[in-house]
Structure 1
Amino acid sequence: MRGIRIKNTLIAAGMLVLTPTAIATDLPPIRYDITLHMNGERLDTAELRVTKRTRGNEIVDLIIPRGPITDVEVQNGSLDTSEPGHWKLRPGPGGEIALTWRSARPAAWRTLEPTLAQSAIVRTDALVAPGPALLALPDGPDGQLAEVRWTVPGNWVVSTSIKEGTQNVGRLKNSTFLTARRAVSATQRSGDATIHVTALDPRRVDVAKVAEDIAAMMTKSVAPALRQDFTLNIVDLDGTGDGFALAMTPTGGTAYLPAAAPEEAWATFAMWTATIPDDTRIDPAFAWYTQGFTAFRVLHALRSGGHASPATLAYLLNDATTFYGNSPFRRVPNRRVVEDFAGIREMHDLPAARGELFALLLDARIRSATGGARSLADALDRLDGGTLSTGAAGEQDPAPALIEAVAAVGGGDIAPLYHRYIVDGQLLQLPPDALGLCYTIGTVADWAGWEVQHVFAKASCSGKR
Structure 2
Amino acid sequence: MALASRPLALATLLTLPAIAAATEPPALHYTVTPVVEQGDLKALDVVLEGIAGPDGTLDVVLPGKQERLAANGGLSAGKDGHLVLSAKPGAPVALRYRRSGTAPFTNDPGIEPYVTAGWMQAPCSGLLAMPADGVARAITVTWHVPPRWRAITSLDAHHPTTRAEAGASACFLGRDVSEAKQPIGHGGALHVYTTDPAGSAAFTDLVAKSLSVVASAAGGTARDYAVYATPVQADGADIAGWSQPGFMSAVFARGARLSALAGPAINDYARMLAPTPVDPATAWYTQGLRSYLVASDLLSSHALGREDMAGYLDQIIANYGNSPFRRASNARIVSEWQSSPDLQAVPGERGILFGWLLDAQLRKATGGRACLADVLRTLAPSVSDPGVALAAAVKQAGGGDITPLYEKYIVRGELLQLPPGALGPCMVVSTETDPYGWQVQRVSARCTAATE
Q: Which runs of 5+ in 2 are unaligned?
A: none
CA RMSD of aligned residues (A): 3.1
Aligned residue in 2 for 1:70: 67
Once the two structures are aligned, what percentage of the paired residues are identical?
29
The Cα shift of 1:99 comes to 0.6
Contact 1:288 1:354 in 2 (8 A): yes
Contact 1:223 1:390 in 2 (8 A): no
**In 1, Cα distance between equivalents of 2:295 and 2:75:** 49
The Cα shift of 1:134 comes to 0.8
Cα distance, 1:213–1:267 mapped onto 2, change above 3 Å: farther
Contact 1:23 1:144 in 2 (8 A): no
Aligned residue in 1 for 2:30: 32
AA of the residue aligned to 2:57: I
Contact 1:268 1:308 in 2 (8 A): no
The SS at the match of 2:227 is strand
The Cα shift of 1:189 comes to 5.0
**In 2, Cα distance between equivalents of 1:130 and 1:74:** 24
**In 1, Cα distance between equivalents of 2:367 and 2:38:** 68
- Indicate whether 1:128 and 2:121 are aligned: yes
| Residues 369-448 of structure 1: pairs in structure 2 closer than 5 A | 369-384=365-380, 389-390=381-382, 396-446=384-434
Cα distance, 1:42–1:15 mapped onto 2, change above 3 Å: same
Aligned residue in 1 for 2:51: 53
**In 2, Cα distance between equivalents of 1:132 and 1:72:** 17
Aligned residue in 2 for 1:174: 168
AA of the residue aligned to 2:33: T
- Indicate whether 1:332 and 2:319 are aligned: no
AA of the residue aligned to 1:382: T
**In 2, Cα distance between equivalents of 1:406 and 1:15:** 31
- Indicate whether 1:143 and 2:136 are aligned: yes
The Cα offsets for residues 276-303 of structure 1, whole Å up to 9 and x where unpaired, read as 4269831122222222224313321221
**In 1, Cα distance between equivalents of 2:74 and 2:311:** 50
**In 2, Cα distance between equivalents of 1:112 and 1:167:** 31
**In 1, Cα distance between equivalents of 2:434 and 2:121:** 40
**In 1, Cα distance between equivalents of 2:323 and 2:42:** 45
Cα distance, 1:373–1:84 mapped onto 2, change above 3 Å: same
The Cα offsets for residues 173-224 of structure 1, whole Å up to 9 and x where unpaired, read as 3112212111221234556765321122122222753563254144134578
- Indicate whether 1:461 and 2:448 are aligned: yes
Aligned residue in 1 for 2:196: 201
The Cα shift of 1:89 comes to 2.3
Of 183, 194, 216, the match for 1:220: 216
The SS at the match of 2:85 is strand
Contact 1:248 1:273 in 2 (8 A): no
AA of the residue aligned to 2:32: I
Of 16, 20, 44, the match for 1:19: 16
The SS at the match of 1:20 is coil
TM-score, structure 1 normalization? 0.85
- Indicate whether 1:230 and 2:225 are aligned: yes
Q: Which runs of 5+ in 1 are unaligned?
A: none
Contact 2:314 2:444 in 1 (8 A): yes
**In 1, Cα distance between equivalents of 2:53 and 2:437:** 55
**In 2, Cα distance between equivalents of 1:408 and 1:228:** 34
**In 1, Cα distance between equivalents of 2:69 and 2:135:** 25
The SS at the match of 1:234 is strand
The count of residues paired between Structure 1 and Structure 2 equals: 445
**In 2, Cα distance between equivalents of 1:142 and 1:367:** 50
The Cα offsets for residues 85-130 of structure 1, whole Å up to 9 and x where unpaired, read as 322222348622211111117x6x3x63362576412223222211
The Cα shift of 1:372 comes to 1.8
Cα distance, 1:55–1:87 mapped onto 2, change above 3 Å: closer
The Cα offsets for residues 124-152 of structure 1, whole Å up to 9 and x where unpaired, read as 32222111211112213363322222222
The Cα shift of 1:449 comes to 4.0
AA of the residue aligned to 1:422: I
AA of the residue aligned to 2:339: G
